[in-house]
Amino acid sequence: MKSAIRLGMVVVSVLAVIGLMAPVGALAAEAVKIGVIYPLTGGAAAEGRELRAGAELAAEIINAVYKNISMDMAKSQGIKSLGSAKIELVFKDHEGNPTLGADLAKKLILDDKVVGIMGCYHSAVTKTVSAVCEQYGVPMINDSSTSPDLTKRGFKWFWRTTPHDTTFTTDLFNFLKGLTEGKAKGVKAVPKAQIQNLASACEKTEWGSNVSALIESFAKEYGFTVKKSILYAAKSTDLSSEVGSLKAVKPDVMLFASYASDAILMLKTLKAQKAQPKVLWGQDAGFEAPEFKDTLRDDIVGVLTRTVFLPKVASVKKVAGEVDGFYQKKVGHSLSGASARAFTGVQAWAAVLEKAGSTKPADIQKAANAIKIPADQLIVPWQGIQFATSGEDIGQNILGSGMIGQYQKDKDGKISLEIAYPFDLATANLIFPFPGY
């Protein structure tokens, strides 16, 4: 009798557990899982946090109705064509390590059964992760890696929303050329001889070494001289010999591609060694990380960085202002290039799923190749999102564009980025030459 009671209790509790799980299971089956691989710890952890916050905000807006945000995805709950399925982001941390990234991608695909992948910020990691996706036939949308080579491999399962470094480096040289033509706001035409000599220092992984090569080739095309180009390890503890080497050629323009901690160390060392370039430009990443501004403060007034999003965009673009306000309420500061691009990446995922109306890889592939997101839906100042399906840059968004910002101090002593390029959007007079230390 006792054992019969015990058996009965076990049966009842098992049923109860199954009963509790059933609705959750039903919900889980509905949600569309996207694996998101970012550097959440390690040297780029600060950017990782930004990226994550941007992506989470986009998912939040997709999954609920927000009347005060004038985006299509804010008007309904979840993905309409999938029966209002919600988007669930599964975050993984690659620590800036390409091998780990590839392992995580496999895990997401095989264990978590994600519908697709997004990430990974570091171009070197995106390279290995996209290779895994290609192998398994799982779609990947890259939101934030800018090495041009990534879309030159003819992959069928890889799409990139952000413009890449060829676009950004073209912007840089158009900016320098414009400077000599007197196009920069508040600065008279600068004789070319004054900014003729360039020197670059880039971190030596996939991304930085590509930027370095691009700078060399564009300099030739635009008639500038690269006096020195250095590749350095982003994990260095000391950059004094690098800075010494840059200073030795007395460059007019110093160009950098750095992640966060090395960007800070580089600027500190430049200051300690009293470097005197006329222009100091960074290729986004570390130069735009919040801790870059918080740590260096007044020392970065006059520093230029390429970017895809400045808080100032919010004042000229309505939808950017609305989302930025929401982001500020949640995170405590304005959107950055990293968070704005992560947001846009998730947005692109939602639009692709909406168009596909299915979670089958082949349908997603077809939808991604056919999609067009208009400019008025985006918080970034692009013409829209449309992926190339032929030519050299397969999977690249052909409607993206970049900007160059300059750190300036306003009347209240607050340091923020002003738009310096495109010249017709400039929000403040350019500080030229760089004030120096």
Partner 1 sequence: MEILLSALVSGLLLGLVLALVALGLTIIFGVMDIVNFAHGEFLMVGMYTGLLTAQGLGIDPLLTLPVAGAVGFLLGIVCYFGFIKFLLRGPMVAQLLGTFGLMLFLRNLALLIFGSEDRALHHGLLVGKSFDIGMGVIVSATKLAAAGLSVAAFVAVWLFMNRTRIGKALTATALNRSAARYMGIPTERMNALAWGAGGASVTIAGALIVNFWSVNPFIGLLFTMIAFAIVALGGFGSVPGAFFAGLVVGLIMEIPGFWDFFMFTFNADWMAKVPMTSFKYMWVYLAYFVIMVVRPRGLFGWKH
Instruction: Report the 3 state secondary structure along 316-348.
Output: HCHHHHHHHHHHHHHHCCCCCHHHHHHHHHHHH
Position 237 contacts partner 1 (CB under 8 A) = yes
Considering only 204, 333, 366, 409, the residue that binds partner 1 (CB under 8 A) is 204
| Residue among 128 and 269 whose Cβ is closer to partner 1 | 269
d(CA 9, CA 135): 49
Cβ count within 10 A of residue 191: 9
Position 276 contacts partner 1 (CB under 8 A) = no
Cis peptide before 251 (omega within 30 of 0): no
Contact present, 198 and 227 (Cβ < 8 Å): yes
Considering only 265, 303, 304, 308, the residue that binds partner 1 (CB under 8 A) is 265
| Residue among 185 and 268 whose Cβ is closer to partner 1 | 268
d(CA 240, CA 40): 28
Considering only 30, 31, 42, 409, the residue that binds partner 1 (CB under 8 A) is 42
Q: 3-class SS at 272?
A: helix
| Residue among 72 and 299 whose Cβ is closer to partner 1 | 299
| Residue among 21 and 272 whose Cβ is closer to partner 1 | 272
The least distance separating partner 1 from the CB of residue 408, rounded to whole angstroms, comes to: 20
Position 272 contacts partner 1 (CB under 8 A) = yes
Position 409 contacts partner 1 (CB under 8 A) = no
Q: 3-class SS at 417?
A: strand
d(CA 59, CA 221): 43
The least distance separating partner 1 from the CB of residue 288, rounded to whole angstroms, comes to: 16
Cβ count within 10 A of residue 433: 16
Residue tagged 């060392």 (tokens): 269
The least distance separating partner 1 from the CB of residue 374, rounded to whole angstroms, comes to: 38
| Residue among 100 and 231 whose Cβ is closer to partner 1 | 231
The least distance separating partner 1 from the CB of residue 426, rounded to whole angstroms, comes to: 31
Dihedrals phi, psi of 84, to nearest 5 degrees: 60, 35
Position 207 contacts partner 1 (CB under 8 A) = no
| Residue among 250 and 360 whose Cβ is closer to partner 1 | 250
DSSP conformation letters of 128-142: HHHHHHHHHT--EEE
**Which window, 190-198, 258-266, 358-366, 425-433, contacts partner 1 (CB under 8 A)?**
258-266
The least distance separating partner 1 from the CB of residue 49, rounded to whole angstroms, comes to: 9
Contact present, 332 and 61 (Cβ < 8 Å): no
Position 46 contacts partner 1 (CB under 8 A) = yes
Position 235 contacts partner 1 (CB under 8 A) = yes
Position 231 contacts partner 1 (CB under 8 A) = yes
User: Contacts with partner 1: how many residues (CB under 8 A)?
Assistant: 34
Considering only 51, 61, 141, 264, the residue that binds partner 1 (CB under 8 A) is 264
d(CA 98, CA 120): 10
Q: Which of residues 282-341 bind partner 1 (CB under 8 A)?
A: 291, 295, 297, 299
d(CA 254, CA 273): 14
Contact present, 388 and 371 (Cβ < 8 Å): no
54, containing H or E segment: helix 45-63
Residues of the shown chain interacting with partner 1 in the complex, contacts defined by CB under 8 A:
41-43, 45-46, 204, 227-228, 230-233, 235, 237-238, 240-242, 244-245, 248, 260-261, 264-265, 268, 271-274, 291, 295, 297, 299
